[in-house]
A and B are shown apart, each in its own frame.
Chain A
């Protein structure tokens, strides 16, 4: 019997090659996950020794406060990336959320209701994204690039290109710090992280996100409603981005069309730093949080060291390439 030499010889040669490639991918992701954690410890120690005010409760809180906006966006981005897609439109949804929140509250709508409406607007944007990606079949890069441009444009149109200050400063309630200097939005960020982490790990929905990201066709054949799932993930991602927009507005006590335009690239960078793969199926909230913290801490530490802000961008890019490249290099050295 000559099983391995079936009519399709391609299939005969492949089996040994493919699993090991997959194995290497898993190893790489795991290594990156721990590697980035170790790397984070290193930069913490480095900054603690090189700057005076770095290692303090108030500065830790500072970092947490500064990363909340991008963190909330990155949580949604994690879902999109694990499921095998990604969402660029968050860069338009964050400013749109900020501007809408300012306009709504200035029109006399109470903050809680305004927050809900803004989240609804965000959800609607990505309902459209999801429908285009799954039903029309345009790939996520182009689709979300299109809606990014539309939502960013809408934010400018609605605000006529200028910053809209809150008339009633009390609507910035999210930025209040009721407990030990921790603001409501930091709490919201941490609570969302916990909820999404549990959801990914312990619910059918979460498991399906990994399954669809790991093998979309196999998931479809297994009877998973791949399209509805994809749409839902986009909706959650964008609702979170809109909420992040509310947070930015609350921080600034104003809605500006210029805030959060870097959200897409920074959030994707954070998720990838945390060990996710752009091909889907890998990654998680823990990794994303570390990714977000690495980026936030470097920005913070460099600011404390009086390094000009432009260098921070360069540093962010270098770290992303190093972290991902390092995982690859190791794979090269260990063969496969």
Chain B
């Protein structure tokens, strides 16, 4: 029998990294397959390749037995294949109906009318059994409903196969359920569904089959009823390494907490519910969780970006409220290294020197005038201490490699010894060498007395670099791992709720 979709030997390489290697995959009509894997296992790349967003280096894809090669998502859609990405693209000011029928308005000779668009969109929703108010503007819809609009949009274009990339990451429990109900109905009608996830509970609730990716390879393909969460986690992680457990350097944080969060809560998505934690002198505390777990909010809250967070924040014993502004956080000597270094961290068109001195510039002045000799020597010293490789201090940061940019960012935040260092994804998108160095710097900084809170979605980093590892899920702290219990398997099991 011909499969609805068959991918043979699909491979993709980015620079030196092989993201997918020879993946074979099949999907039948009405089948729902969950694709799981750790961050960086190649899930999103896989989804984008089979839907034509990016093209594979090698391999063939057949749809209903005919070989296809997609040139664009539009091309893939014409073949009946729809991709619902994490970041939805839509026209916020148009109505739901306009969005559903975007580009294929009903009518003739280039003429259409709002009434016809509304009627046609409403009819499509009725046909699919989905309740949506198609007259509302898209911008006024909740995220969950916007995803459903995307699904309806795909199905009005007669999609036979829908690929969703972590659609529930930012949805509430109820909204996720509603989404799965719809997907379940579609599967009964013969639509194939591929579902990228890393949440165990969903895999069990929804899929006919689970495919596990690890380092770009398909390592398992099983029915959920024939396996266990523990087994799936083992597939995701592969063989455990010998030197897996990293003894805590100087576990502390008990009495002399540098910083203590009590009852941090926030409504909205993602929510925070009663998060309390403390970080001690010389301690590196890791905070790990899956997308949408709220760990980023904790870091950003400490940087003064979320004044709406309720709860308390005690700094060196002094009770207070969460910082209302970034300036307040900086005045309290909290250094924040944001995840998006290019967007939120560095001023790319300014020089290495200007970026290194940006936060301490006032200390290098007399009567408001920058003492350029001092600025240069401080910048040179920082660059050397953090091993930033560049040719001139006046070189624009944009011209450095990702790893060196990240070191500049880190160095600029550590130009003055902070009381608390908050890091988000400290090694995202940097080369392996820089990663090792940055991890070493974090150890040194902690030794000098700094308290460090590291938010990361990189499991290996979370486990190996932290002294204590806290796990978050759906806005709550769900566990603390230290010593022998601090393993990748434990961390992902807690994070995925398996």
Contact = CB atoms under 8 A, between A and B. Distances in A.
Nearest to A8: B44
Nearest to A212: B347
A12 B326 CA distance: 28
B215 A281 contact: no
Given A4-B429, A22-B396, A210 B347 contact: yes
A282 B348 CA distance: 11
Given A5-B45, A11-B429, A207-B361, A218 B344 contact: yes
Given A18-B342, A218-B343, A3 B40 contact: yes
Interface in A244-285: 281-282
Given A26-B349, A202-B372, A3 B359 contact: no
Interface string A80-119: 0000000000000000000000000000000000000000
Interface stretch (B12-20, B69-77, B444-452): B12-20
Interface string B392-412: 000010111010010000001
Given A211-B347, A221-B336, A4 B14 contact: yes
Interface string A11-25: 111011011001101
B179 to A, nearest CB: 19
Given A4-B17, A7-B40, A221 B402 contact: no
B257 interface: no
Contacts of B40: 1-3, 5-7
A1 B460 contact: yes
Contacts of B435: 3
B442 interface: no
B338 A221 contact: yes
Nearest to B198: A7
B327 A207 contact: no
Contacts of B289: none
A204 B362 contact: yes
B344 A217 contact: yes
B365 A222 contact: no
Contacts of A210: 347, 350, 354
Contacts of A1: 40, 432, 460
Contacts of B68: none
A1 B235 CA distance: 16
B44 A2 contact: no
A215 B396 contact: no
A33 B457 CA distance: 44
Interface residues of A, number: 42
A137 interface: no
B301 interface: no
Given A5-B42, A207-B354, A210-B354, A22 B348 contact: yes
Interface residues of B, number: 64
B177 interface: no
A214 B347 contact: yes
Contact of A223 (B17, B330, B431): B330
Nearest to A208: B361
Nearest to B371: A202
Given A22-B396, A217-B344, A6 B354 contact: no
Contacts of B458: 6
A281 B372 CA distance: 20
B427 interface: yes
A15 B14 contact: no
Contacts of A214: 347-350
Contacts of B460: 1
A1 B215 CA distance: 7
A214 B327 CA distance: 19
A217 B87 CA distance: 21
18 contacts: A2-B17, A3-B427, A5-B40, A6-B428, A7-B291, A9-B19, A9-B44, A12-B429, A19-B398, A203-B365, A205-B368, A214-B347, A215-B346, A218-B344, A220-B326, A221-B336, A222-B330, A223-B329
Interface of A: 1-13, 15-16, 18-19, 22-23, 25-26, 202-205, 207-208, 210-211, 214-215, 217-225, 281-282
What 6 A-B pairs are tightest by C-beta distance, nearest first? A223-B330, A22-B398, A214-B347, A5-B19, A215-B347, A9-B44
Given A2-B41, A9-B45, A211-B347, 7 more contacts: A5-B14, A219-B358, A221-B344, A221-B345, A223-B359, A281-B347, A282-B349
